[in-house]
Each structure stands twice: as structure tokens, then as C-alpha cells.
Structure 1
């Protein structure tokens, strides 16, 4: 027993001190000098992932995992290359691919998704790893999952053109990888992204008609949540909040992409704040959240930017913002693939007025299909988890051949937990994650859940109505819970009980048997 314990300790310690090589020290990430010789989306180099991929904390068993170095270009049309990760489950369907854009929200290449996905990668990448259970969902359904480092080799967080082009070139690469992955050239591809990932996915939909018109035949739709369409709006909303660290991460990302304006932007920063501001270049999202919590960049007595919000009025800065604002003018592009967008009406970090503007403009300009699903009672953080089920449910319907809506449709729900099929998604996510902890082969040993149960329905309804009572969680230090409950009628709580009652009656479920654990009825 002592020997076994010692062996386990040595194994764990060995793993701890043998982390995968970070991208900044991994030559595989280097952009070759002859990158311009390749076509957009060409695979320049390929290798198996240098370590097992992970399921949040634990290693994840997939059939295959690869990294591709892919040719693309930056916001200015300069040739570059980025890494995308391709995962194959054990029950893989070569006709279905999910391009999953996680939030990186950092100007450090060592926080890239391709690194965060690796088992025993630095814990600083935990915020990206939090999305892996949703990636596992796609794998459990037999879909190949591609995860691009869409911020590119400069890790240009918030650079819309760079991000959108990388997503599209990543899709091109996957569709050209049949000799390596077995993925069919004519495979159906769906895009997904929340928050920072929504920025990349949203820009991909706008750029696709002009940048990658041939992909229209493959792209069956994009599910986009916490939809970032205007970086100024998000920066000002984040100022002085729990998430203030997004601001230096984002502006450092812009400086990386627009280096000609680095000196100008530097001149706008208070001298005593510069060291602390530029330190964010080395931070992953979690580090910046901790370091800059509640700090004020554009307000307060001693803001980082001398001209406060006037920083955004500097002509060169205003032009950068305009070039990175989605749905600004029709000539920038109009999506031609179906979109499902979900958002919290009380989003504190991405105020709904900007994605609503994008929805209105795209619809007015003739977008063929946009379903706009608004959660009445969630902010940005909560919608991260309560809205993803709606987005993945919508994608699964597309893969199953169900047609999207025609035209534009806006629906407001108590929360997006109430979106048809969302409860099923969470059941699958939880089941797959738990089974994965114990070494299940994803897609082969994991169960496949396709139908709602009385329990999943009740939990979804109850939790949704509870949030209707409590409302969004405040993010600013000077906000309190005071009066939050008072702003929501207790009728919401009663409605939750009423919904459960109707559900039980409709399906002839005996509530006593439910309490006793004897009910075995699916709905």
C-alpha cells in the first residue's frame, strides 16, 4: 500500500512538473517566411497534439487530436498563420464539424485555446478550460470539433477582422484535411462562440460572403451568445467592475494589431499607470480579472487614461473602433448563413443595445435568417451557462436537418433555459463530463441523451423562475443586492410553481411518486 501511494504521488508530481511547452517557446507556432506561398486555409504543418487533451481538470479520451498550422491573414491583409486544434470522438461522423470559438480574452499567446486544451497546461488558462464541457457535448454527439486560435500569432484580442478571417480559414483547413482526419470535403459546419468567442464567430458571419464565399455550401449556421459587436460599449461597461481586467487585455490586443498607433495610444495613458497597464500583455484572463478588479480606466479620480472617455474620441482611436464594430454599414458585409443569437437583457459587460443594433441592421439589410433569443433575467456571467444550452440545441437541430426560421424573429424569455431542448443539452453535458472523469471514451462509452425528462423540465423551469425573482448579479463594487428582489414581482416565483404544476398534470405525473423517487416517466 505504501509503495502504491508513493507511485501515485510520483506520477502526479511528474505530471505537475512536465507541462506542455507554451506557444511562445514552441516552434510549431512560428509563422514561416514563405507563408505567402500558401493559399488561405492551407495546412502548413500538422502534428498530433503534444499532450493529451483535457476535460477541465482531468484528461479526456478522444479517438484522435491534431494541431494544424493554418495560413490566414491579419486585419490589414498581411499573410500570417495560426494554430487550430481538431478533435475526433470515437463515434465520429465525418460529415459534421463544430467550429467552437472559446473566449481567450487575452493578449498573451500562451493563453491560446490550443494550449489551454492540453492536459496539465498552465492553470492560468482556466477560464478557457471552463468551456471544455461544452466542447465535450459536441464530441459526444459524434461531431468533429475544431477549436481555432482565432486571435492569431499576435494574440490580437478584439481585432474583429483578424478573428473572423481565422475562423473561416480554420474551417477551410478542416475541410481540406480528409487525408489526415477523414473529414469529408462537403461536411456540414456550424460555428459557436460566447462572449469573446462571439466576437470571432460574429465577424466570421459578416466576412464570409466576401472572404470565403465557397463556404456558404458548408456552413449550416452560427450560434452566438453574449454577442460582442462594439468594443467601446464593452470597455465602458466593464470600467470599475469585477471584469475591469478586460480593458487592458483588449487595448493591448488592439495595440498588437494596430502597431502604427502604439505611440499615440501610449501618450494617452497616465505616466504612473503605464507599467501596470502594459503588464496585462502577459496575463491570461483570470490573472487580469484578479489584478485589475474594480479599477477605473476611464473614470474616477486617477484613471489610467488621462482624457477618460475622451480617449475614444481621438480620431485614430475612433477609426480603429469603427473598423472593429460589427454591422456598422451594409457595405462591410451582411451574413448569408443562419444565425441564432442569445443574450441576457441585463448583460452588464456587453450592454444589449449594441447587439440589438447589429440584429436590427442585419435584418434591415436582408439577412436571410436570424433568431434573436433574449433572456430577461440574466447578465453576462450567468448567461454564459444558462444560454449555451439554447445555442447548442439550435445547432443540433441544424445538424439533424431541421430548417432555420426564414427572416428575423425576436423572442424574450424568463431565461434561455426555456428554449426548446435546452434542458436536454445540460443533461448530456453533465453526463458526458462525469463519465469522462472516469476515463470513458467520448462518443463510444458516453450515453447519448436526446429527450427531455420530467426531472430536467422541472429543474429548468424552477431555476428559470427563481432567476426571474432574484434578477441579475451586480458586478460593480458600489452595487448591492439591495432592492434587487424588490425589482421583480413575486408573481415570477408563483409562475414557476404554476408551470411545474401544469407540467405534472399534462403528463399525468403523480407528484407523490416524484417525491418518493418512483416516477419513471419521460416527456
Structure 2
């Protein structure tokens, strides 16, 4: 059964290939420039003087937005917005969010979907990866389109922020959380651009794996960084709670390369002579080029290149690199959840007990911390089957149902509730939401509009 869940995404991908092969020719593909060569991603003039969340530029995406990065989505409209945000070190920065508007959608319901980028390279940004014909090798963002299609099929406006900013600061929760909140600010003020309601908009957030970093940190930072935002709830899955622990857990596995990508993301997000000296002192000249490769490639390449490797062997002090100053302090500051405000919004966590990216023990500890500190609403579902990959699919139905309930005014859980899930305990309402995701994906494959 676990194997069946793990291969579900492969089956869907095969179906996509079959659909393309047997269907009508695809429309002309506009292969857009990658972010490093596209002036749209460059800082707008005067951005430093703008308030966080201010819209600085906007455009229709150069290329069509595609399901699985391949099949154009039949949308009412799509938009890319550059907005002012704040980077890891508290300095002004910019980021881009992509807004998807389904035909006949509810213009007063917005889901901020934090996609899985998992790379310390700007050209892996979701805003570029999901364009049909892009050269991005960000297969994670491309495959996440099934979740976006499910949201669109519910009639929601979907915003997908490039929350790592211009520094591609992967794994920095500070950067990701602030950029997520600022993207919501920007979209809420985009009525004249996107058509979103200018009177009242209900907002929710959702993120899995790398997207959990952005969503979780946004939830913690909202009370102090964006107290004016009214967010109805956040669904957070495959949560990466503690970067230090996560790097150790992933080491020598198929995910080992993500640990290095995370370290380079912090290096880029917290540039300093001290951190540069630490890396120079700790690395070996003969393999520095290989060590730096995550800075110019996406997660798929990191998986392949470092599969099963001991990434600590790239450093003279081995795993001691993580406890060396200033890296230790940076990880503690930007790589560990639960050290800031208690989230003031309802939360829904879902996690597989067999998660091999970040141990469920970390997630348990985070939930306990929130509950001990008096969080008003937290629901936590622990899946007794599957792993990090399968849970992204299996747990998504419950996440979408949670978001739908928040939009529909269903009262959230009072206090804290934790439950262990087995497949035979399947909640059919959640399964229906998962089915809607599949329906949304199929609609996209055949060019059917996302009508509610």
C-alpha cells in the first residue's frame, strides 16, 4: 500500500504523457527568459523606500502557466507581481508572486500556496518553473500543479510567491515567512490588476515540505510582522521544523543534496565576511566546485548528484560545521520553528510517521510547544503509513478540506487535537477533496476551464 501511494505521482505523470501524445497539438510555447536574465526580476527603482507589500511591477506571465509545467491551464487570467519585502537580515528586498484566477472564481477567496522550490538557485523560482516551455528543471514546482489545480477547481484565487527572494535564500524561515506575508499584502491590494475584491477577501495559506518553511514561519511572524492581515487558517504538511536535525536526517539518503542546498541558501541569505571565512576554512579546494553546484541547479539535480552521499565529508570538521560560529547562530535564528510568536490563526498539521526528511519527533515537539503556550486552534494528523513523498498526496485532501471549512465559516478546532491516521480510518470528506485535486488536474489536461 505504501508503494502504491509512492508511485501515484508517477502514474499521473504517465497519464499526462499519454494525454499529450494522443491529444491535439499544444499551443505555441513562449519560452521565457529565466529570472537571472529577465529584467522583470530586477529590483524596481525606489524599492527601498516602499513599504513591505507594495506592488512595484506587474505583468502577464511571458509564457502560459502549465499543469505539470507542460499543459496550459485554462484560466480567466494570470498575473505576475513584483512586490517589496524584507530579507533575512532585515534589509529591503523584492520578490515575485504569480496569481492564478480561475474562470468564474470567487474573487473574495485567496489561497497563498507556498510551492516546493527547495533550491538555492534563483532560476528554480516557481514563477518561472510553472511556465510552459521554461527551461527550469524545478520538477517539484511542476508536479505541485496538481494541488494548485485542485484549489482552482474550488474557485479560489491562488497566489504562488517566490518566497526565497532575490538571494534564493532557501531554508531561511525569516526570508520565507516575511516574503509570504508581503505577497498576501500585495495581492490584497491588486484589485485593479487581478480583479480580486477590493472590499473583503478571506485568506488562507498552505505549504508542504519546503513550502512548510514559508507557511509555518509566516504563521509565527504574522502577529508582529503583519498584524493587520486577517488569515483564516494555514495547512502545513511535511513540516521542516529544525534545519540542523533535518540535514542530519537526510544525510546519506536520496535527499542528501537538499542539506547542502539549504546551507548555501543561508550563506546567500546571510552574507558576511565571517561566514565566508568559515566556508573557506572548512572546505577542500579540490571539491569546492562540486560542493557549490547546488547554487546553480534545482532540487532534482541535487537529488541525483548527492544521492546517498555523506555531505559532511565536504567539510574539514565534518558535521561540526553546523556547530561552528556564525553558522550555528544563523541556523538557530532562521532555521528552527517555534522560537517566535505563537500563531494566532487556526493551524492544521499533517505528517507521516515515516517521514525521512524531517523526523516526526520534531513536529511533535513543535505542536507541543504551541499547545503548551496556549495556541487557540491546532489540529494535528499523524499518518501511520507512508513517507514524506506519499504524504504529500495522501494528506492533501485533509488540508484542502481544512481550507474549505475556514472559507465556509465552519468553526475550527478549539485548543489542540492530535489524531493518528490509518488508511482504514479514511475520512471520506477528505478523500473527496483529494478527488477534486485529480479532477482539477484532468480538467487542465483537456483544457477545460476551472468553473465552480
TM-score between the two structures when normalised by the length of structure 1: 0.79
SS, match of residue 272 in structure 1: helix
Q: 2:285 aligns with which of 261, 271, 274?
A: 271
Contact 1:390–1:416 (Cα < 8 Å) also in 2: no
- Cα pair distance change 1:417/1:47, threshold 3 Å: farther
Shift of 1:175: 0.7
- Cα pair distance change 1:306/1:84, threshold 3 Å: same
- When the two chains are superposed, the root-mean-square deviation of aligned CA atoms in Å is 2.0
In structure 1, C-alpha distance between the alignment counterparts of 2:353 and 2:363, rounded to whole Å: 10
Shift of 1:295: 1.1
Structure 2 segments unaligned to the other structure (5+ residues): 1-19
Shift of 1:263: 2.4
Q: 1:310 aligns with which of 320, 333, 336?
A: 320
- Cα pair distance change 1:371/1:426, threshold 3 Å: same
In structure 2, C-alpha distance between the alignment counterparts of 1:262 and 1:238, rounded to whole Å: 24
Q: 1:321 aligns with which of 311, 324, 331?
A: 331
In structure 2, C-alpha distance between the alignment counterparts of 1:42 and 1:337, rounded to whole Å: 24
Residue 427 in 1 paired to residue 439 in 2? no
Contact 2:351–2:382 (Cα < 8 Å) also in 1: yes
Deviations 1:12-41 (A, max 9, x none): 999898521111100000013411221110
Aligned positions of 1:307-386 closer than 5 A: 307-329=317-339, 332-386=340-394
SS, match of residue 315 in structure 1: coil
In structure 2, C-alpha distance between the alignment counterparts of 1:273 and 1:372, rounded to whole Å: 43
Deviations 1:163-194 (A, max 9, x none): 00000000001111111122124201110000
Q: 2:99 aligns with which of 72, 76, 86?
A: 86
Structure 1 segments unaligned to the other structure (5+ residues): 1-7, 445-523
In structure 2, C-alpha distance between the alignment counterparts of 1:424 and 1:294, rounded to whole Å: 37
Deviations 1:247-281 (A, max 9, x none): 22111111101111122123222332211010111
Deviations 1:382-437 (A, max 9, x none): 11111111111111111111111111111111259824522102221222222221
Q: Would you say how many aligned residue pairs link Structure 1 and Structure 2?
A: 427
Shift of 1:244: 1.1
TM superposition outliers: structure 1 runs of 4+ over 6 Å: 12-17
In structure 2, C-alpha distance between the alignment counterparts of 1:322 and 1:328, rounded to whole Å: 11
Aligned positions of 1:396-407 closer than 5 A: 396-407=404-415
Aligned to 1:97: 110
Residue 58 in 1 paired to residue 93 in 2? no
Q: 2:155 aligns with which of 129, 138, 142?
A: 142
In structure 1, C-alpha distance between the alignment counterparts of 2:145 and 2:329, rounded to whole Å: 36
- Cα pair distance change 1:114/1:420, threshold 3 Å: same
User: Larger relative contact order (C-alpha < 8 A, sep ≥ 6)?
Assistant: 2
In structure 2, C-alpha distance between the alignment counterparts of 1:325 and 1:69, rounded to whole Å: 26
In structure 1, C-alpha distance between the alignment counterparts of 2:263 and 2:191, rounded to whole Å: 39
Aligned to 1:241: 253
TM-score between the two structures when normalised by the length of structure 2: 0.91
Shift of 1:126: 1.6
In structure 2, C-alpha distance between the alignment counterparts of 1:438 and 1:412, rounded to whole Å: 37
In structure 2, C-alpha distance between the alignment counterparts of 1:198 and 1:337, rounded to whole Å: 15
In structure 2, C-alpha distance between the alignment counterparts of 1:273 and 1:104, rounded to whole Å: 25
Shift of 1:441: 1.1
In structure 2, C-alpha distance between the alignment counterparts of 1:327 and 1:258, rounded to whole Å: 18
Shift of 1:146: 0.3
Aligned to 2:55: 43
